[in-house]
Amino acid sequence: MFKRSTTVIFLLGCLAVLLAAACGGGSSAIDKKVTQEDLAISKPTIVIAQNETSLSAQLSTAVVKKLIESAIRYPVEIRNFSDVSSMLSSLEKGDVDASIEVWPSEVERVEDQELLESELIRSSPLGVAARKGWYVPGYVLESYPGLENWRGFENADIAGNFASIATAPNGRFLGTDEAKEFDADIIRNTELPLEVVYSGGLEATREELEKSVISQTPIVLHASSLDSLVEKFDLQIVETPTIDNCRIVDAASVACEYKEEQLVKLVSTQLASTSVQAEEFIENFMMTNEDILTMLRQVESEGMTVDDAAAAWIESNGETWSKWLQE
């Protein structure tokens, strides 16, 4: 009887020692790593769509990703999309939870416009105003002062100075993405002696622009006020036509004008079933033009990575983003 009691006491003592050791080891680096992995496994991943060709979209998305992961503690996956239609479809199905930087004009140009107006996707302002349009380097305006307005290109002799072998005698207008730009419509509708040539991608556009700048060759191209190219290459906007300048009968039904746009965020209504807090945070999230331009400058001119620029913004704006978590 005595031996049995002693054995039980001994086993209980061993158990107590093991439990104490397990509890006492919680502060080790290994245990912390396991805790973080367990957190990632126990919570579903929030998927955010991103325009893979837009540096400004990458920056604002990186800020959102870092804050959700660090403050709300949900894992985030960034999924790149090259076209708006497939992104909207993924939002509708709940395959994607949100998109942080969306141009309303791009949504209007796809057949899925009704998705944006459905109960499956919610829209809220990003706080950034931007404009797409025609741009030329500063040295072009010095040589051709009249080109601050599109009517300067009505002069065939001037437009001819922008010609390439493929477009001569018409001037070349450099586009990037035919699905998102309607410069060919504008040029056709205003009967300008220009012809659009698409580079096929942002990097190709950058290469063409850089070659022109180095050689001081005249170039006119499509860009936006949020493009990193604008500041890097001193691009100046050309005042583009309005709808009243179109010369065809059904002008009201075609693309013939670039306007300033208020960019928006899109959130799938299914995100609430994953995390109400994440849904509310994204809807509260706001950027300013200066926020975006500062981060663009850090990446393009100061050599920072997208992640580093986003982290720097977070570190400098704690008072701002902490409110988004409390609202």
Domain ranges of the chain: 35-129+261-326, 131-253
Lowest mean pLDDT among 35-44, 129-138, 285-294: 35-44
Count other Cβ atoms within 10 Å, centred on residue 118. 14
Q: Where are the alpha helices (DSSP H) in 43-119?
A: 55-67, 84-93, 104-108, 113-116
- Residues 17 and 264: their CA atoms lie apart, in Å, by 58
pLDDT at 284 over 80: yes
- Residue 254 has which token pair? 């075609």
173-184 in b/e form (b: 16+ CB < 10 A) is: bbbbbeebbbbb
Helix or strand run (H / E) with residue 8: helix 2-24
Supply the pLDDT for residue 300.
86
Domain 35-129+261-326 annotated CATH 1.10.10.10: no
pLDDT band at 189 (very low <50, low <70, confident <90, very high): confident
pLDDT digits (tens, 9 = 90+) for 55-103: 999 999 999 999 999 999 999 999 999 888 889 889 988 899 999 999 9
Q: 131-253 has which fold?
A: D-Maltodextrin-Binding Protein; domain 2 (3.40.190)
Decide if 35-129+261-326 and 131-253 have a common fold. Answer: yes
pTM: 0.79
Q: Which residue has the higher pLDDT, 283 or 43?
A: 283
- Residues 316 and 146: their CA atoms lie apart, in Å, by 42
264: left (phi over 0), alpha (psi -120 to 50) or beta: beta
